[in-house]
């Protein structure tokens, strides 16, 4: 059974349709990440699920109940915001117990739940402080704690780590993942524009662009089998290399042809039936380009070298286009060096040049 089900939902701001007929099913205990650039509608969708935004059409179901017309508090959800949104005039303890107080929970029960959440997030020593006496990381911990005490079936996160610096972001990311594992059956819906957060946290990623869902899949599927050019380009850093070319029928089956470079596509898992002569875009991840003396694509010249410690990204070009190659950190390269690259058909993605869809 799915905990959250978005059925054919449309949202409109004063006659302007934000999105139309969007559907999404989220399983119980699943960690779903809504990923996309700013303005893609991911936060709007989250707000619609939370009930902070009225939907124009469609239904929203949470835990087997149609909550389309329910108030946020009655939906069995908890939410964590980017700006923490802690009540500034209340102590941490009051912040965490506010929701329970509103729901007229008995005092001992409130104290028990606050203590447990504080314990879980290691913020017990901070309980009597005020939000302005906390650091950014501590504030977000408190905000998560405030969501935790609600004992909700569904947690909604709206870019919770975007205001933190890189180090804290990594720490809290791991903590959220640990929390999800420890809570067991709690469903989490997490909005972010950060693909690392999406890849590391998600059971399934929903990639969105311009108010439309581009692809829903596990991080592995999203990364290795992107559904279209947008997903392929958005996920992965450094970006996937795109090479324009066309399909040709050679002796041993279809091949990809770009200028005088060619790649036999034997073994490529076509999703559609391709036709020879079709204009296509070949996508290949930087780590799938191998520097090998006996490679199939010679004649690349090193342009820029970016050492990143664990690995090195080499930008090289063959006069026409430039590609990025990710190689081990121990590989030294100097600008101007000649390289021969190798790639195999099972590790590439092919997209229609016309529609951008995966072939």
Partner 1 sequence: MSAAEPQGRRPRRLTIGRIGVYAFLATSALFFLLPLWIMIVTSLKPMEEIRLGNILALPAAMTFDAWIKAWSSACTGLECNGISVGFWNSVRILIPSVILSIIAGAVNGYALSFWRVKGANVMFGILLLGAFIPYQVFLYPLVRIFSLTGVYNSLLCIVLVHVIFGLPTMTLLFRNYYAGLPLELFKAARIDGGGFWSIFFRVILPMSTPIIVVAAILQVTGIWNDFIFGLTFAGRQNLPMTVQLNNIVNSTQGERAYNVDMAATMLAALVPLVVYFVSGRWFVRGIAAGAVKG
CB of 42 to partner 1, least distance (A): 15
Shortest CB 210 distance to partner 1, Å:
24
Q: How far is the CB of 142 from partner 1 (least distance, A)?
A: 12
Nearer to partner 1, 47 or 228 (CB): 47
Tokens in use for 144?
């998560």
Which residues, including other chains, have CB under 8 Å from residue 14's CB and lie 6 or more apart? none
CB atoms near residue 357 (< 10 Å): 12
CA 92 – CA 118 distance, rounded (Å): 10
Could you tell me how many residues of this chain bind partner 1 (CB under 8 A)? 28
99 binds partner 1 (CB under 8 A): yes
In the complex with partner 1, the residue whose CB is nearer, 78 or 291, is 78
Where does this chain touch partner 1 (CB under 8 A) — which range of 21-29, 76-84, 291-299, 340-348? 76-84
133-149 burial, b if ≥16 CB within 10 A, otherwise e?
A: ebeebbbbbbbbbbbbb
- Binding region for partner 1 (CB under 8 A) out of 24-32, 44-52, 318-326, 328-336: 44-52
Give whichever of 90 and 216 is closer to partner 1, judged by the CB atom.
90
Q: Is 142 in the site for partner 1 (CB under 8 A)?
A: no
Q: Take residue 18 and report the two structure tokens written for it.
A: 């934000």
DSSP 216-262: EE-HHHHHHS-SBHHHHHHSSSSPPEEEEEEEEEETTEEEEEETTEE
Of 98 and 315, the one with the shorter C-beta distance to partner 1 is 98
Which range, of 86-94, 217-225, 289-297, 300-308, touches partner 1 by CB under 8 A? 86-94
Q: Do 164 and 83 contact (CB within 8 A), yes or no?
A: no
The 3 state secondary structure assigned to 18-71 is: EEEEEEEEEECCCEEEEECCCCCCHHHHHHHHHCCCCCCEEEEEECCEECCCCC
Instruction: Select 154 or 176, whichever has its Cβ closest to partner 1.
Output: 154
Interface with partner 1 (CB under 8 A)? 47, 50, 52, 71-73, 77-79, 81-90, 98-99, 102-103, 131-132, 146, 150, 158
């Amino acid at each position: 059974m799915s905990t959250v089900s978005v059925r054919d939902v449309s949202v409109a701001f004063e006659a302007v349709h934000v999105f139309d007929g969007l559907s999404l099913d989220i399983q119980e205990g699943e960690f779903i990440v809504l990923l996309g650039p700013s303005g893609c509608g991911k936060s709007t969708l989250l707000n619609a699920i939370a009930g902070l935004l009225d939907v124009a059409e469609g239904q929203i179901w949470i835990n087997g109940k149609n909550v389309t017309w329910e108030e946020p508090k009655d939906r069995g959800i908890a939410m964590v915001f980017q700006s923490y949104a802690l009540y500034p005039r209340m102590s941490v303890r009051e912040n965490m117990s506010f929701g329970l107080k509103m729901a007229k929970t008995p005092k001992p029960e409130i104290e028990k739940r606050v203590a447990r959440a504080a314990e879980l997030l290691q913020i017990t020593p901070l309980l009597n402080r005020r939000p302005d006496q906390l650091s950014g990381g501590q504030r977000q911990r408190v905000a998560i704690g405030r969501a935790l005490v609600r004992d909700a079936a569904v947690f909604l996160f709206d870019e919770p780590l975007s205001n933190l610096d890189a180090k804290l972001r990594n720490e809290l990311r791991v903590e959220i993942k640990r929390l999800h594992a420890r809570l067991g059956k709690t469903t989490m819906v997490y909005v972010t524009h950060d693909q690392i957060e999406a890849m590391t946290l998600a059971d399934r990623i929903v990639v969105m662009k311009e108010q439309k869902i581009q692809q829903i899949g596990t991080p592995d599927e999203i990364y290795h089998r992107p559904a279209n050019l947008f997903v392929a380009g958005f996920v992965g850093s450094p970006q996937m290399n795109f090479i324009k070319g066309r399909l040709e029928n050679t002796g041993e089956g279809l091949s990809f042809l770009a200028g005088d470079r060619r790649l036999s596509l034997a073994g490529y898992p076509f999703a559609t039936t391709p036709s020879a002569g079709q204009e296509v875009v070949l996508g290949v991840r930087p780590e799938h380009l191998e520097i090998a003396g006996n490679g199939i694509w010679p004649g690349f010249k090193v342009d820029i070298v970016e050492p990143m410690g664990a690995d090195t990204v080499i930008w090289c070009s063959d006069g026409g286009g430039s590609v990025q190659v990710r190689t081990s950190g121990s590989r030294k390269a100097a600008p101007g060096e000649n390289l021969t690259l190798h790639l195999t058909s099972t590790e590439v993605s092919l997209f229609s040049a016309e529609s951008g869809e995966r072939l």
